Structure 1
Amino acid sequence: MQTSVVLLVLLSAMLHASWNAFLRLAEDRVWLLGMMSIPYIAVSAIGVAVLPLPEPAAWPYIAASVVLEFGYCLALIRAYGSGDFGQIYPIARGLSPMLVFAGALVFAHESLKPLAAAGVALVSIGIVSLAFRRDMRFSGESVPYALLTGLFISAYSVVDGIGARVAGNGLSYIMWVYLLWNVPQFLLVWHWRGGAKGLFTSRETMMKGMLSGVIALAAYCLIIEAYRFLPIAMVSALRELSSIFAVLIGFSFMHEKLTAQRVFACTLVTLGAVLIRL
């Protein structure tokens, strides 16, 4: 395993937790998605103009990824409607390592060595356990939507992992996904918010919204590149260390409690990552 690729995945994990925190704190999450779409559209428009076209085999994966990204955004907005960031985020992210492991095995014919597979399982168990309360139960009406979000994450991870490889150029692949996903998303938000007057508010809030988009875009571009060098399930599991960053963000900025149970869960996730690295 290339250490530099692993470090890029960990950087992506930190960036991913950061933009999700922005989304959780936003008073108007639909508006924030509209603002986030602006840097996505700008960068992807340049990308599709200068990068080579993806290979024909990649276009079904591009179409599937666009649909799944739409579903993911809708489920994520609803999931953050209530409940702690430190609970909803781990539920959504914790499902994906094991589901991606199964999906990559079935659709990409990838298998992991026993030590790495055990690491993926530990990461998934540790992340999900972050969401438990003291009575060892989930709480919050948003939990079903967090679970649905996790299903979307797993599906687009497998689709993108395969698509980036058959495209011939991973960045070209994701640029087309971003463009075809964010143009209609921006137009929908534009319509829902009544045009420019409802969408373009103060310069400060607009900059914060677009900064979230830049962070999210950078985070997933790193993952797309990592898919070219490492097994899909391995990248997915390492990426979900973002849940540890989410717990730290929730504790530092949202006044959420850092309990002994959450510390133990983070330890499990870290141990799983070590097994994967070994």
Structure 2
Amino acid sequence: MSPWALVLILVAAVAHASWNLLSKQAAKADGVVFLWLVAVASAAIWNPLFVVFLLVTGTTMTWGTLGVIAISTTLHIGYFLLLQRGYSHGDLSTVYPVARGTGPMLASLVAVLFLGEHPGPAGIAGIALVGVGVFMMSSGGAKADPKGLMFGLAVGVFIAGYTVWDAQVVSAFAVAPLMLSYLGETGRALALSPLVLVGPRRALILPIWREHRGHVLGAAVLIPLSYLLVLFAFTMAPVSVVAPMREVSVLIAVVLGGRLLAEGDLRRRMLAAVVILGGVVTIALS
């Protein structure tokens, strides 16, 4: 694996765990309104960079490009809505590990079965270690969280879907990662607008903005940043390697959940984190 790909994935993991913490902290707010505010803020914040990108590269948008991005946007909308609802019902330390474990394992399986990728024995062992470690995060312990588990599994399906699809968008369809990320954010804002601006949710916009402004702005910066880095990594390494390696973010999320959210059972979760770290190192060396 390219050292640059490894660096991109690790930085993306920190950003990813951080915005999930912000989303969890805002979980009591209406999820649709919160996600709409994040998407709108993100589109505004990242707009100058996107305009510069278009001017410098001369990239044009075709109907084919918009079509493949629309599919990605649809998958991401399902992912974000389920994730935010999951955080309103379960712990960060349950929903996040289960989702992040299910998604890459399914993505790697799809990559092997349908995309012709063939990880070696070390890569397979690393993927297995990541999966075992992630599910150790949510098994046992004093607090059972069946709702969090169910939402985590559902979110994992969407993660697998957009991981495999977006990898093809930036490779086979040669769509620039920044274009995919920015137009995805803009598309999500447009798609959620009818649900927010028409009906009772409209009255929630200002109260949620006032209470969660920091969470909104933080997520608006970190969500595109974390995924942009992963999309660039997809251009340097195969899906079956990048997808499971992203799960180093689980290590960070466990610490954040244990220290900042007081979700407890930190010893068991740290043991699972060691297993995940072993899998990440194995994949990196494969």
TM-score normalised over the length of structure 2: 0.87
SS in 2 for 1:103: helix
SS in 1 for 2:88: coil
Letter matched to residue 31 of structure 1: V
* CA positional deviation for 1:207: 3.6
Unaligned runs of at least 5 residues, structure 1: none
Corresponding residue to 2:191 among 180, 184, 194: 184
Are the aligned partners of 2:241 and 2:283 in contact in 1 as well (CA < 8 Å)?
Answer: yes
Cα distance change, pair 93–6 in 1 and its aligned pair in 2 (3 A): same
> Which has the larger share of helix?
2
CA distance, structure 1, for counterparts of residue 7 and residue 229 of structure 2: 10
Residue matched to 2:97: 90
CA distance, structure 1, for counterparts of residue 282 and residue 199 of structure 2: 47
What does 1:172-251 correspond to in 2, within 5 Å? 172-191=179-198, 194-195=201-202, 198-201=204-207, 203=210, 205-251=212-258
Residue matched to 1:159: 165
Q: Does 1:24 align with 2:30?
A: no
CA distance, structure 2, for counterparts of residue 170 and residue 200 of structure 1: 32
Cα distance change, pair 159–14 in 1 and its aligned pair in 2 (3 A): same
Are the aligned partners of 1:62 and 1:176 in contact in 2 as well (CA < 8 Å)?
Answer: yes
Are the aligned partners of 2:258 and 2:266 in contact in 1 as well (CA < 8 Å)?
Answer: no
Provide the alpha-carbon RMSD of the alignment: 2.3
CA distance, structure 2, for counterparts of residue 205 and residue 138 of structure 1: 29
Unaligned runs of at least 5 residues, structure 2: none
Letter matched to residue 104 of structure 2: P
Q: Does 1:107 align with 2:114?
A: yes
TM-score normalised over the length of structure 1: 0.89
* CA positional deviation for 1:65: 0.9
SS in 1 for 2:89: coil
CA distance, structure 1, for counterparts of residue 199 and residue 249 of structure 2: 31
Deviation string, structure 1 residues 60-99 (Cα, Å, up to 9, x no partner)? 4322211111111221122112222111111111112211
Greater mean deviation of Cα atoms: 182-191 or 229-238: 182-191
CA distance, structure 1, for counterparts of residue 66 and residue 111 of structure 2: 19
CA distance, structure 1, for counterparts of residue 281 and residue 25 of structure 2: 32
Are the aligned partners of 2:104 and 2:244 in contact in 1 as well (CA < 8 Å)?
Answer: yes
* CA positional deviation for 1:261: 2.3
Q: Does 1:10 align with 2:18?
A: no
Corresponding residue to 2:37 among 32, 35, 41: 35
Deviation string, structure 1 residues 13-60 (Cα, Å, up to 9, x no partner)? 111111111111212033321221123322565566443136776554
CA distance, structure 1, for counterparts of residue 159 and residue 282 of structure 2: 23
Letter matched to residue 118 of structure 2: S
